[in-house]
Every structure is written in C-alpha cells, then in structure tokens.
Structure 1
Amino acid sequence: MEQQYLQGNYRLIQKRNLAKNIYDFTIEAKEMADIAQAGQFVHLRVAGFMLRRPISICEIDRDAGALRLVFEVRGEGTAVLANLIEGQLVDVLGPLGKGFTLLSPDSQAVVVGGGIGTPPMLETAKHYGKNATAITGFRSANAVILQEDFQRIGSSVMLCTDDGTMGAKGFVTQALRTRLMESHADIIYACGPHAMLKGIVELAREFGVRCEVSLEERMGCGVGACLVCACKTVKDGEEYYAHVCKDGPVFPAEELIWE
C-alpha cells in the first residue's frame, strides 16, 4: 500500500522550551492529525536549508486537529526552527514512515525512551494508558522531559539518569530488566541511541517479549527516494538494506542486524 502523506503550510499555535535546547511545538494540522499514527514523523522545511528536518510526532490531538512535536537543537537547521514564533506558518511534509503496531489497549505495554527518543513514546503509551509503563533515561536532571505527560495519561513512570540527579541512577536497560522480572509484558517499544536499543532487543529476546524499535537516522528526502538512511535488516532469512524513512522508522526487533 502506498504511503499516504500531505504537504502544506501549517500554523505554529504553541511553542514551549522544555529543557536546554529542547523545544515543544504544537502545529495546527487537522488533515495530518486525522491520519497520523504513533511512531510516525514529519519533515519540516527550514528557511535557507535544502534538506528538511525529520521530527518525531510526540502527540496527536485529533479533536483539536493538532500535532505536537518535541525536538532538540542539534545544528543550524534546528536552531532556525527553534526561533520560530507562535502564529508563524511551518512547511510540513507528513505524516511519514511506518509507526508502531498498537495492540489491544488492555495489553501490558512497556515504552522505553532514551533522551530525545522519548517524545514518540508518549503517543504510543497513551493508547494503553494505565496499562503502559514508561521507562525514560536522560543524561542529567536538566535534560529530563515529558514526565508529567506520562503521568497525565495514567502510565507508570520509571525515570533514570546517568548521574543520578533525578530518578534512579543508571540506564534504562536496568530499569527494563526490573520491570520484566516484576510482571508480564505483551510488547516493548523503544526509541533512542543504538547501544540502548541493542540492549533492549537483547532483553526482549531473553524474556520472550515482542519488541518494536524506532531508529533515529540522518535523512535526505524522507520518502524513500534517496539512500541516505539505509539500515541492514533481515526478512525470511534474506539480508537487505531497508530505508529508515519509508520501511521504518519502526522495525520489528527480530528484523534488525546490529553492526
């Protein structure tokens, strides 16, 4: 099935600064909100730059016809984005990519986010509400985001920081092992750095839990036409290079080959 996506200029209706260099945009885009899924992303055009910037969808508000995007300033392009003001129009292409597979809302789900990999976990956890456990990891207390949001939707929250300045000191993989030893989980969703994802996939395999991961890669076009975001995968015993933007960013854990 060919992917359905839109492109247009949409109004930035709310902008907040969540932590150092981390911004929270709400964009009025009813047609996109109607078809967007948890785990998808949008591609934003930045004035003066040829390539668009991929930003994960953090929340979908179909009633208000809005998309919430949370991103980190990582270079000149995202710095320009961060300077937009409420009321301005943003050129958005989306929703793009393959999102997460959502099971019945009464399933037990664990969502794991590392740093700026945390935003796409919110919409995913929202589907399960009180049946979701949100495990999030950050470098330090000053980088922690979205904890109140996970609490708002009723999910259990396990927070980790590398330096122990907030939550438990340690990595999300330690918290995930604790959670899986305590009670049953039907599925694990994860997004964050590769080393973290690799550890999560190994834990999912050890405990026999279905797992899907969202990969963060540099992208060119966002629709599978260029080859910038290729990643090595295996399907039916055959190895092949998939496009993170079109075949992903979400992949079943068993299909990924970790270099």
Structure 2
Amino acid sequence: MLTTRRVDAYHALTVVAPGIAERYRPGHFVAVAVGGPQTSMLARRAFSIHDVKPDYGGTVELVFTVRGPGTAWLAERRARDTLDLVGPLGRPFPLPRDPVTCVMVGVEYGSAPLFGLADVLQQRGCRVDFVLGGASADRVFGALRARRMGETITLTTEDGSLGMRGKVTDVLPGVIADTRADVVYACGPMEMLRGVTAVAIEFDIPVQVAVEEAMACGIGMCMTCVLPVIGDDGVTRMLRACVEGPVFRGERVRFEDVGTIPFDALGAPGSPTGGGGTRNVG
C-alpha cells in the first residue's frame, strides 16, 4: 500500500514497509522493481530513503524525478498498489561520537537523505546547518524542512530564482568558515560531490559523501556501480557503490577517475597486481 504526492518538481512516494523502516539508518537506499510483472525492464531502480516513520505502521518515503520509463511507471502508482522493493541496502553515514557542528550539502532531490541524517545528528547534540541548491526554485528540495531544522540555511539556484545565484560550492566556504564546521555531509551529483570534497579538503575537515552511481542490482552482483576508492593502505580498489557505499569519505574517492579503471588500481590491466582486466572489488 502506498501514497504519492508532488513536491515541487518531484514525486514523493510513501510505502508501508515495516521491515525496512525498522532497520533503516540514514544513508541507506532501496532497490525497487518497476514496470509490473510482465515488464521487460528487468533491472531494479535504486532510490535514497528520504524519510521513515516507524510509528505509522512502518512507512518509507522515496523522492524522485521522472527520467525514463521506469520512473514514469513509478510516478503513476496509486494507493493500494503494491511495490516490490528490497532494502535497506548499502552502507549508511557514520555518525560522530561527540556533539559537533555539521554542514549538510545537497543538490535537487539528492538532498532527500540529509533530513533523516540531520534528525539523528541533532538527537546526538550536534549543530546542523544546511546548504541546498538546484537549477531553479522548484528544484531545490526540502527548503522548508531545512528552515525548521537547521541553525542556518543557505540556498542557491543557478538561475537566481531562489537564494543566491550560483552553485552550492560557491557559498560552502563561507558557511564552513562562519559556522566553524567540524564535518561536511553531502548528497547529490558526482560533479557536485567532487567540488564539495575539494572545499572540505581546503578547510582540512572530514567530508562524507553519498555517491550517485548508476546501480542495476543494488546487491553487489552486477558491477555497474564500481568506482575507484583509495583504501587505508593507500591502495586504490574498484569498490561497489551499492555495497561498500553509497557513503564514502570524500577525500578517498578518485572523482577525476570515476568511469574508468585507473592503471594503478588493484587488479587493473597492467598494474603490479595484474588482474588480466578483471575488476577486483577488494
């Protein structure tokens, strides 16, 4: 059973899924079968979890935009329809042990996972400040909720229709400096995560990013979502965003090499470990 609603440019879909709601931690995602029982769309679609309410029979809310036939089918679901979904999947956000100042950075509907995370951080005594952006005002997700939750909120739009004209990375240095932030959490497109990570490195503070890589299976079998990540030992491995991620330490992700297998990655063709071209997932 589910409900759907429009939130500006996006669709919000709420499903009763008590097992997922009970085990959810901020940063988890679900893999949803789309198209119905007769469909030719075999791959599941991965969606970040926006909200969970264990006390309403265990509901899980997903936020998405229509990008193709799979999400178009999902947007047409109505109350009393059933959905086939698997979750919670992935590695959630690590949480600080002590109360710290946290800056939450999100772009468009990629911001959705930040709100459950902010809830948990505030329960631990952390200060939370938001930086949210989008192409236009209707594509900035969660501004009202962020105003209620955050100590401060800074909004950016590329067309200047809401907040400051520009991108989140333009205003982030000022927010980090003003709040004396201890850590940055970011969700959104890979290029934005790359920019946010560069800013956090400049300020010498940790950054946790939830990557947006295309996932087909969500359980680590198909290898479509691998990306190069530097391990504690300094060795680059091709890790699966759906299993070892989607949350990674930003400074460990080789954003400039995403979409490739770097020559020095463990198991890469021609590397000292020589993998004959196979992808080693460590």
Give me the TM-score of the superposition, normalised by structure 2.
Answer: 0.84
Q: How far apart are residue 181 of structure 1 and its match?
A: 1.4
- Structure 1 segment 91-130 matched on structure 2, within 5 A: 91-104=84-97, 106-129=99-122
**Matched-pair identity in %:** 34
Q: Does 1:77 align with 2:78?
A: no
Structure showing greater Rg: 2
Deviates more, 1:153-162 or 1:210-219: 153-162
Q: CA RMSD in A?
A: 1.5
- Quick one: which amino acid aligns to residue 109 of structure 1? C
Relative contact order, CA 8 A, sep 6+: which one is greater? 1
Q: How far apart are residue 136 of structure 1 and its match?
A: 0.7
CA deviation string 1:47-105 (max 9, x = no partner): 22201110100112222211111111111100000000022111110000011112257
Counterpart CA distance in 2 for 1:51 and 1:125 is: 31
SS of the residue aligned with 1:63? Answer: helix
Aligned 8 A contact 2:101 2:179 in 1: no
Taking a change above 3 Å as real, the CA distance of residues 151 and 254 of structure 1, as seen in their structure-2 partners, is same
Counterpart CA distance in 2 for 1:247 and 1:190 is: 17
Query: Residue 55 of structure 2 is aligned with which of 31, 51, 63?
Result: 63
Query: Residue 237 of structure 1 is aligned with which of 234, 237, 240?
Result: 234
Counterpart CA distance in 2 for 1:232 and 1:118 is: 24
Counterpart CA distance in 1 for 2:42 and 2:51 is: 27
Counterpart CA distance in 2 for 1:107 and 1:87 is: 43
Give me the TM-score of the superposition, normalised by structure 1.
Answer: 0.91
Aligned 8 A contact 2:103 2:176 in 1: no
Q: How far apart are residue 16 of structure 1 and its match?
A: 0.8
Number of equivalenced pairs: 247
In structure 1, the gaps of 5 or more residues are 1-10
Deviates more, 1:102-111 or 1:224-233: 102-111
Aligned 8 A contact 1:114 1:137 in 2: yes
Counterpart CA distance in 1 for 2:100 and 2:199 is: 19
Structure in which a larger fraction of residues adopt strand? 1
Query: Residue 158 of structure 1 is aligned with which of 154, 161, 182?
Result: 154
- Quick one: which amino acid aligns to residue 50 of structure 2? C
SS of the residue aligned with 2:255? Answer: coil
Q: Does 1:199 align with 2:195?
A: yes
Matched residue, 1:209: 205
Matched residue, 2:176: 180
- Quick one: which amino acid aligns to residue 25 of structure 1? L
Runs of 4+ in 1 over 3 A off after TM superposition: 152-155
Query: Residue 223 of structure 2 is aligned with which of 204, 223, 227?
Result: 227
